Amino acid sequence: MMQFMLCQGNTTKIGGKEILQQWQDKTDNWIWVDLYDETPAEEKKFLSENFQLDESVITEAQRDRHPPSFEAFKNYIYLLLKPLDAESDSLDFSTLQLAMFAGQRFLVTRRSKQSPYLAKLWQSLEHNGCADASPLSVVASMSERVAQRYGKILLDLEQRLDIIEDELFDSPTDSLMKELVGYNTGLRKMHRILAYYVNVFNSLRQYLNKNNHQQQDEFNNIYAIIERFSSLSAVYQEVITDLIEAYISLNGHRLNQIMKVLTIVTVIFVPLTLLVGIYGMNFENMPELKSQHGYYVLLSVMSGIAFIMLYLFRRVRWL
């Protein structure tokens, strides 16, 4: 599917490929072409013939999985982003691939999935006109939206981590551990993407600053936001790692306490079992067997041993 929007002054025109000719006939307008679910061969031919885009970056944009990247050419810039898809609002997220080619008079967007925010921008320009818009301003809006959505997930996670930390020390459970491991996996993936974004937007802002572009302040702000969220994701990874280690330590401590109690019980009953075993032998030559009070004496000795051992364990603070 190809969508075409021609922007001239405060007016917009939506149509098909016939708009390309109107765009080429004048120099005071710009065009936005949105591509979705096109065959790679036809897409590459269309972009190469009409916008003279480099075939290597077109091929890169068409790949199913490729990290975010930026490249500057003589007449346009190429930016590949991985925004969150519409259903993603937690660390169990999925992404779409969004490639943008922005020149002075054209913007080409190519996406692997539906993008509600891109559709919203399209409708806004269609209904409100293009007086204050440009190809790079649309790229800036999309980039800021990408950063904000990643940031919202991270800020929501901060509140949940505070709750988990309190629950972990009150009543650690396996479900908390499972949740933390899931967060850690999602954060690792997010931090990797944000680390790419830091490099990508740093290169983009340096390019714009060098050329003294009017959009440079916008992209400086976007870079600052991305860098902050990248650092935040690294901090949260460390926090989650600490919480996982704390859970393991608490479980180890609980296990040690249980083993200590079992060891004490075993140590107390070993001598008692020895006495029971001795006096359970059926020998004729055991004078204690004929004693009138032997049973009570043996019970007293066994009780005394148990109480003495309990007292000693208490003294050395094993109990």
**Position 175: which residue type?**
S
| Angular region, 275: left φ>0, alpha ψ -120 to 50, beta rest | alpha
Q: What is the pLDDT of residue 294?
A: 76
**Cβ partners under 8 Å of residue 26, min gap 6:** 8
How many percent of the chain have pLDDT more than 90?
Answer: 32
Q: What is the pLDDT of residue 78?
A: 95
Mean pLDDT score, 236-257:
83
Least confident among 24-38, 70-84, 251-265: 251-265
Q: What is the pLDDT of residue 242?
A: 87
**Cβ partners under 8 Å of residue 95, min gap 6:** 82, 83, 84, 85, 88, 193
User: Can 2-249 and 257-315 be said to share one CATH topology?
Assistant: no
Question: Which range scores top for mean pLDDT: 87-91, 198-202, 298-302?
Answer: 198-202
CATH superfamily of 257-315: Magnesium transport protein CorA, transmembrane region (1.20.58.340)
Q: 0.85 cut: is pTM over it?
A: no
Q: What is the pLDDT of residue 171?
A: 78
Q: What is the pLDDT of residue 255?
A: 80
> According to CATH, what is the number of the domain 2-249?
3.30.460.20
**Cβ partners under 8 Å of residue 51, min gap 6:** 76, 101, 103, 106, 108
Please name which of 310, 296, 300, 302 lies closest in space to residue 276, comparing C-alpha atoms.
302
Mean pLDDT score, 267-292:
77
Q: Is the dihedral of CA 182, 188, 191, 192 positive or negative?
A: negative
Report the SS3 class of residue 292.
coil
Instruction: Encode pLDDT of 159-209 as tens digits.
Output: 888 888 888 777 778 888 888 889 999 999 999 999 999 999 999 999 988
Q: What is the pLDDT of residue 203?
A: 94
Q: Are the beta carbons of 123 and 14 closer than 8 angstroms?
A: no
- Each residue of 175-185: b (16+ CB within 10 Å) or e? ebbebbeebbe
Q: What is the pLDDT of residue 143?
A: 94
Q: What is the mean pLDDT of the chain?
A: 87
How many percent of the chain have pLDDT more than 70?
Answer: 98
Q: Per-domain residue ranges for the chain? A: 2-249, 257-315
Instruction: Encode pLDDT of 106-148 as tens digits.
Output: 999 999 888 889 989 889 888 888 878 889 999 999 999 999 9
- Name the helix (H) or strand (E) containing 4: strand 2-8
What span, in angstroms and rounded, lies between the C-alpha atoms of 9 and 290?
119
Count of residues in the chain: 319
Mean pLDDT score, 93-99:
92
